[in-house]
Amino acid sequence: MERTIIKNWSSENVIAGYTTESGGLFRYMNPQDEKNYEALARDFGLRADRLVRVHEDHTDNIFVAEEGSGGEGIMKNEQTGDYDGITTDAEDIMLCIVTADCVPVFLHDPVKNAIALAHSGRVGTGKEIALKAVLKMTEEFGSDPKNIRCMLGPYLCKTHHVVHHPDIILFSEHFSPDERDSFLTVTGDQIRVDMGRAIAISLTRSGVPAENISDCGICTYEHKELYSWRRDHDPDAHILSFILMKHT
């Protein structure tokens, strides 16, 4: 199983999924990995120059991908240095981000035909990158948040996501004490973080209805075919998540 497609989410012309360990490595601008990008693209009738990925540095910046953006982050990096999310209304452009315990946030607006994908780690979640992605879809494509559907891909679940006290500060700017209490469980000097809950708070704040938010329910730490930083400590090893609107 080299990649998993998330089934029964949003529309038939939208393909969302993620790679597993056997799919190989997907490093930024690494010629050794081009064959992996090509194999992934080929599965969906595309070439690697239709894939777009961003560098990812725990920012809350969203890159708007256009037809000419194909190949960004794979074989060229003219535009995609300082972003952690991507959105587009172009068909047959595959948006990609990598994670290894952080949350891949998939978004689809079936009314305006736009998609987005964001890398939401603790830092990005604290900055509300999911909300920023919804705002960008609103600005660029006229999306109404009420129509946007969201899926959270595989990430480190709250049982395994244990951090230490100073991390609370990441969530202090954008989340109220009551909100923080709903996704942070403090035990002594340890905190368990429910990333899915925090992201759902941001998305509902942006206007996405709670019933439009789904979670694939897969923990990276528990599923051995997925890379997990917490389990493997391998800086090169990432899950590549992807979303694509097929031309119909």
Residues that bind Zn ion (CB under 5 A): 157, 159-160, 219, 221-222
- Taking the least distance from each CB to Zn ion, the nearer of 179 and 222 is 222
- Taking the least distance from each CB to Zn ion, the nearer of 162 and 168 is 162
Which SS3 state, helix, strand or coil, does residue 24 take? Answer: coil
Residue 185 Cβ vs Zn ion, minimum distance, rounded to whole Å: 14
- Taking the least distance from each CB to Zn ion, the nearer of 129 and 157 is 157
Residue 67 Cβ vs Zn ion, minimum distance, rounded to whole Å: 39
d(CA 27, CA 236): 7
Residue 194 Cβ vs Zn ion, minimum distance, rounded to whole Å: 11
Residue 200 Cβ vs Zn ion, minimum distance, rounded to whole Å: 18
Residue 222 Cβ vs Zn ion, minimum distance, rounded to whole Å: 5
End-to-end Cα spacing for the chain: 27
- Taking the least distance from each CB to Zn ion, the nearer of 199 and 219 is 219
Q: Which residue is nearest to Zn ion (CB)?
A: 219
d(CA 139, CA 87): 11
- Taking the least distance from each CB to Zn ion, the nearer of 136 and 238 is 238
Three-state SS sequence of 36-90: HHHHHHHHCCCCHHHEEECCCCCCCCEEECCHHHCCECCCECCCCCCCCEEEECC
d(CA 227, CA 100): 6
Calculate ∠ Cα 241-7-195, nearest 5°.
50
